[in-house]
């Protein structure tokens, strides 16, 4: 089975990608002993995904390992506030991955505004430093005030999915993974890789 390094240690992301991208062996940063923090300094999702992919690829080359790297950057975009929180989704309230604080800030910003929103994912597949494929996926919904379902992952419990009619926090992993932004990006990537094989 082909091995691909996923440029992440985020357990939710790893689990979701492993469920969807199930025909390759996914190695995490922990698996390759990569322990440094990667600074996401890009202003777009694609820039951040490329920063992650190239940083990890450089590390693999230095270690004499020749695996492709899969990296994504994803976030929530709300139409009424200029597509914020966008690339700052994980650190919207100032502290990285404080989901409750991020949701509280978002609901404050959206007070008396329209609530249409979408999750977006930009996925980069890097074979070597000069060659990559990228795909985007989006899933649409509405931001609601009351938190429903699991509250441990980002904005899921206040994102009412247009596809599912429930929040991502209420949805089963199987249901969410059939309509998620990451699933749609991965599906596009798998189709592209199949064409090229």
Give tens-digit pLDDT for 147-184.
999 888 899 999 999 999 999 999 998 899 899 999 99
Q: What is the pLDDT of residue 40?
A: 87
Asked if residue 196 has pLDDT above 90, the reply is: no
Exposed e or buried b for every residue in 107-124, given b needs 16+ CB within 10 A?
beebeeeebebbbbbbbb
Q: Among 15, 71, 17, 68, which residue's Cα sits nearest to residue 48?
A: 71
Q: Please say whether the dihedral angle defined by the alpha carbons of residues 164, 12, 54 and 21, taken in this order, is positive or negative.
A: negative
Residue 6 has pLDDT above 80, yes or no: yes
Rounded Cα–Cα distance for residues 176 and 133 (Å)? 25
Every domain of the chain and the residues it spans: 3-196
Q: Which of 31, 73, 112, 163 is catalytic?
A: 73
Report the C-alpha gap between 197 and 193 in whole angstroms: 6
Residue 142: strand pairing partners: 116, 160
Q: Is the domain covering 3-196 a CATH 3.90.950.10 domain? A: yes
Q: Phi/psi class of residue 159: alpha, beta or left (left: φ > 0; alpha: ψ in -120 to 50)?
A: beta
Mean pLDDT, rounded, for 24-36: 93
Does residue 68 contact residue 96 with C-beta atoms inside 8 Å?
no
Angle at 167 between CA 98 and CA 111, to 5 degrees: 65
pLDDT surpassing 80 at residue 26: yes
Decide if 31 is catalytic. no
pLDDT of res. 18: 86
pLDDT for the residue numbered 111: 95
**Average pLDDT, whole number, for the chain?**
93
In order of 77, 99, 124, 167, 173, the CA distances from 70 in angstroms are: 23, 24, 6, 27, 21
Taking residue 81's Cβ as centre, other Cβ atoms within 10 Å add up to: 15
Query: Tens digit of pLDDT for each residue in 74-121?
Result: 999 999 999 999 999 999 999 887 999 999 999 999 999 999 999 999
């Amino acid at each position: 089975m082909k091995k691909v390094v996923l440029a992440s240690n985020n357990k939710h992301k790893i689990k979701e990608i492993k469920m969807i991208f199930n025909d390759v062996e996914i190695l995490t940063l922990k698996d390759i002993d990569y322990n440094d923090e990667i600074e996401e300094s890009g202003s777009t999702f694609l820039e951040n995904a490329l920063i992650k992919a190239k940083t990890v690829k450089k590390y693999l080359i230095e270690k004499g390992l020749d695996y492709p790297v899969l990296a994504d950057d994803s976030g929530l975009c709300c139409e009424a506030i200029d597509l914020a929180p966008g690339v700052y989704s994980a650190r919207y309230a100032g502290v990285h991955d404080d989901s409750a604080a991020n949701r509280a800030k978002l609901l404050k910003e959206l007070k008396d505004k329209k609530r249409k929103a979408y999750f977006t994912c930009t996925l980069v597949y890097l074979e070597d430093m000069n060659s990559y494929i990228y795909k985007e996926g989006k899933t649409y919904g509405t931001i609601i005030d009351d938190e429903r379902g699991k509250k441990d992952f980002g904005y899921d419990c206040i994102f009412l999915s247009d596809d599912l009619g429930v929040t991502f926090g209420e949805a089963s992993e199987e249901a969410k993974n059939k309509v998620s932004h990451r699933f749609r990006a991965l599906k596009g990537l798998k189709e592209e890789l199949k064409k090229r094989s």
